[in-house]
Amino acid sequence: MSGELQAGDLVLLHDRAGRRYPASLKPGATLSLHSGALSHDDLIGRPDGAVVRTSRGVRLLALRPTFAERVTGRRREAQPIYPKDLGAILLHADLYPGAAVLEAGTGTGALTMAALRAVGPRGRVVSYEQREEFQSAARSAIQEVLGCLPGNLELKLGDAYEGFAERDVDRVLLDLPEPWRAAPHVAQSLRSGGVVFAHCPNVSQVQRFCDELRQVGGFGLINTVEVLERDWTVRGRSLRPAHRMVAHTGFLTFARRLAGREIFDVESERF
């Protein structure tokens, strides 16, 4: 991920219009663009962040892709969790080095990989996925982005609505169509003081999940947020917001596991 560009590296070529062109570097290969051809040999050995020119003299910026670019740039079968939400999830759910994390379902593997990066080699991630084709696609994505299938990751094929074998985990991450159905099992698997997170596309799902947490009992500080992201143009005297933005992608709900079955609801100030 650092140093000179090498054969086998995935590189993104950025043009001045904001377009990005991926290239997996191979000696002797040529990338053909509307702006001209570019030999891979002209990239191999150059520093990460170098500016190169096509055969037509068009300048391109060559950079290894960031984690966010690799996650969003892949062909995917499942609905992804976007980078703007991934950052908020990691912080609000307080994923930390060495944590034991339980995830359901694996989906595209984006949140799985983000969790792995957060918990580090001393942590552990167990991810449940009900659909075999999604699990297979996620496994391929993880191997492609991380270079291998980490030893501290366990991918399980199973129905999260039927329960989890894991106990006393530090964090539970839910990306399910009906997360409320998993709430009783989360109560059994999540340690006292731990955090549960659920990603819901629409607010009616949020309501059912929160109601179920209160019904099950033993959860507190239930909070839902929505993250909106808008670019700005800052160039000379031009200072303006972008015409388009990444608005609603999902609601993020977080709650803490309590030591007993009481409910601590800040909004109504009651136990």
195 falls within a domain? yes
pLDDT of residue 208: 97
Burial (0-12, 13-18, 19+ Cβ within 10 Å), 202: exposed
- Is residue 249 domain-resident? yes
Are 120 and 99 members of one domain?
yes
Shared domain check, 119 and 59: no
Asked if 213 and 106 sit in the same domain, the reply is yes
Q: Are 106 and 133 in contact (CB under 8 A)?
A: no
User: Do 207 and 109 belong together in one domain?
Assistant: yes
Question: Any known ligand binding at 212?
Answer: no
Q: Is residue 268 part of a domain?
A: no
- Is 226 annotated to bind a ligand? Reply is no
The answer to whether residues 65 and 87 touch, using CB atoms and an 8 Å cutoff, is no
Residue 116: CB atoms within 10 Å: 22
Q: What is the 3-state secondary structure (H, E, C) of 160-190?
A: HHHCCCCCCEEEEEECCCCHHHHHHHHHHHE
Does 203 map to a domain? yes
Given this model, what pLDDT does residue 242 score? 87
Entry pTM: 0.82
> 175 in a domain, yes or no?
yes
Tens place of pLDDT per residue across the chain (271 aa):
678 999 988 999 999 888 899 999 999 999 999 999 999 999 999 999 999 999 999 999 999 998 888 877 655 555 678 899 999 999 999 999 999 999 999 999 999 999 999 999 999 999 999 999 999 999 999 998 888 999 999 999 999 999 999 999 999 999 999 999 999 999 999 999 999 999 999 999 999 999 999 999 999 999 999 999 999 989 888 899 988 888 899 999 999 999 977 766 655 544 4
Total number of domains in the chain? 2
Domain hosting 59: range is 10-65
pLDDT on residue 270: 46
Assigned domain for 264 exists: no
Residue 265, annotated as binding a ligand: no
User: Do 203 and 158 fall within a single domain?
Assistant: yes
**Among residues 45, 65, 85, which one ends one of the domains?**
65
Instruction: Report pLDDT for 144.
Output: 87
3-class DSSP assignment, residue 256:
strand
Alpha helices in the chain (DSSP H): 67-72, 83-92, 110-119, 132-146, 183-189, 203-216
Query: Which CATH number do you get for residue 231?
Result: 3.40.50.150
Summarised one tens digit per residue, pLDDT across range 49-68 is: 999 999 999 999 999 998 88
CATH of the domain at 57: 3.10.330.20
Q: Which two tokens stand for residue 128?
A: 């449940």
Domain assignment of residue 156, yes or no: yes
